[in-house]
Amino acid sequence: MSDPAALLRAYDHQLRDEAETPSAVAVERLGPLRLATFRGGRGFITYSTLDEDGRPATQESVLALVDGALAHYTASPDIHRVEWKTRGHDHAPGLHEALVGHGFVPDEPESVMVGEAALLAVDVELPAGVVVRQVTDEDDVRAMCAMQAEVFGDTPEFAAEILLQVLHRLRTRDDMEMWVAEADGTIVSAGRLEPVAGSEFAGIWGGATLPEWRGKGIYRALTAARARSALRHGKRYINSDSTEFSRPILERSGLVKVSTTTPYEWRRDT
């Protein structure tokens, strides 16, 4: 299936709301919103729709949801950062204005990519000396996260927060895989695979490659390894929120851009 509308329906039906917060330590509902809290003092807001009780969302109802969601998090002094995840195809009148007016700052939009896992599960020739493997040892996971933080330009505080969440997830659950590409023992590319329970999907996340190793097929090989693993898990589809580095690679493999997603972030004043 490569019809964008059908893929988007599958994405909306199977991957929105509850499926997005498997690592949350607490979740509350506010109307259609899912308000999740993660380790490290991070809040995360998502939803499958902003409509309520069969009534289409309006500027007034959206503003009220933003008011209520931010009040929920500001009431907890342990929360220092909140992300509101938007999608470009949602009916969300006045959402951008409401978020910005409450101190949320939009990040760069990413492409929501969806397609058959089998399209990615191909043989890719690697440069000499480069190997792709799944890692489970904590030292390997720490090295992987450090490389990703370097590529993404994360602050030390944010990198430590992500590492805390990843290690907790690996210690307490078995529904996430960490994959790396190594050159002579040094991690040069990395990414996660997250099969989504109760769905046909597995997500590929956190794809990062050191600049000097790009353009050599390493990311494609890492993606192919994760796609093969997804198929072993019985998953039909792959989804990814992709930057402009990875989107063209996934498109050439047959995945389809079905929407966009833009994170808006609020930070507590210090």
Q: What is the pLDDT of residues 35-73, one digit of tens each?
A: 999 988 999 999 999 999 989 999 999 999 999 999 999
Evaluate whether 258 touches 112 at the Cβ level (below 8 Å).
yes
CA dihedral 15, 19, 22, 26 (to 10 degrees): 130
Q: What is the pLDDT of residue 72?
A: 98
d(CA 229, CA 195): 9
241 DSSP β-pair partners: 112
Give the CA distances from residue 108 to residues 46, 59, 147, 263, in Å, rounded to whole numbers and listed in that order.
17, 23, 21, 8
Q: Which residue has the tokens 């809290």?
A: 37
Q: What is the pLDDT of residue 160?
A: 87
What is the biggest distance separating any 2 CA atoms in the chain, rounded to whole angstroms? 59
Domains of the chain: 14-110+262-267 (3.40.630), 115-260 (3.40.630.30)
d(CA 227, CA 114): 12
Q: Kindly give the parts of the chain with pLDDT less than 50.
A: none
Q: What is the pLDDT of residue 270?
A: 56
Query: CB-based contacts of 180: which residues, under 8 Å, 6+ apart?
Result: 132, 133, 135, 140, 144, 187, 189, 190, 222
Q: What is the pLDDT of residue 175?
A: 85
Q: Which of 135, 128, 116 is nearest to 180 (CA)?
A: 135
Radius of gyration of the chain (CA): 19
pTM of the model: 0.90
